[in-house]
Amino acid sequence: MTTLTPTPESPGNRGAVDVQKELYGGQLPERAPLLVIGAAVVVAAALYLAAGVNLMLAALVVFAISLALPVWSVAVEGRRKATDRLVTVLVTSSFVLAMFPLFSILVTVIGKGTKVLGIDFFTFSMRNVVGEGGGIYHALVGTLIITGAATVISVPIGLFAAIYLVEYSEGNRLSRWIRFLVDVMTGIPSIVAGLFAYALFVLFFGEGVRMGIGGSVALSVLMIPVVVRSTEEMLKLVPNELREASYALGVPKWRTVSKVVLPTALAGIVTGITLAIARVIGETAPLLIIAGATDSVNFNPFDGRMASLPVFAYASQRNPGIPPEFSIDRAWGAALTLLLIVMLLNLIARLVSYFFSPKGER
Q: Tell me the pLDDT tens digit for each residue of 43-79.
A: 888 887 877 777 778 778 888 888 888 888 888 878 8
pLDDT of residue 232: 92
pLDDT exceeds cutoff 70 at 362: no
pLDDT of residue 24: 56
The range of the structural domain enclosing residue 285 comes to 123-361
Domain annotation covers residue 334: yes
The structure's pTM equals 0.79
- Measure the CA dihedral 158/163/165/170, to 10°: -170
Would you call the peptide bond into 323 cis, given omega within 30 degrees of 0 as the criterion?
yes
Report the share of the chain in percent with pLDDT over 70: 91
Higher pLDDT, 260 or 358: 260
Domain annotation covers residue 115: no
Contact 284, 199 (CB under 8 A): no
What distances in angstroms separate CA 256 from CA 9, 160, 245, 248, 266, one per listed residue?
74, 15, 10, 11, 14
Contact 146, 216 (CB under 8 A): yes
86 & 162 share domain: no
Domain endpoint, select from 67, 83, 110: 110
Task: Determine the straight-line distance between the first and last CA of the chain, rounded to whole angstroms.
Answer: 77
143 & 284 share domain: yes
Domain annotation covers residue 4: no
87 & 172 share domain: no
pLDDT of residue 118: 85
pLDDT exceeds cutoff 70 at 25: no
Q: Any idea what DSSP says for residue 258? A: I
Mean pLDDT of the chain: 84
Among 52-61, 229-238, 267-276, the minimum mean pLDDT is found in 52-61
Higher pLDDT, 26 or 210: 210
Domain annotation covers residue 75: yes
Domain endpoint, select from 76, 110, 144: 110
Structurally, how many domains does the chain consist of? 2
Domain annotation covers residue 316: yes
| Residues 168-174, mean pLDDT to the nearest whole number | 83
Residues 6+ apart with CB under 8 A from 286: 190, 191, 193, 194, 197, 215, 218, 219, 222
Any idea what the CATH number is for the domain that residue 275 is in?
1.10.3720.10
71 & 164 share domain: no
| Residues 103-131, mean pLDDT to the nearest whole number | 85
CA 152/CA 137 separation, integer angstroms? 23
pLDDT of residue 152: 94
276 & 233 share domain: yes
| Closest-CA residue to 152 (of 195, 212, 235) | 212
Domain endpoint, select from 77, 110, 143: 110
pLDDT bucket at 359, cuts 50 / 70 / 90: low
Report the share of the chain in percent with pLDDT over 90: 25
pLDDT of residue 226: 92
226 & 101 share domain: no
φ, ψ for residue 106, nearest 5 deg:
-60, -45
pLDDT bucket at 150, cuts 50 / 70 / 90: very high
38 & 185 share domain: no
220 & 334 share domain: yes
Tens-place pLDDT, residues 213-227: 999 999 999 999 999
Domain annotation covers residue 269: yes
Domain annotation covers residue 310: yes
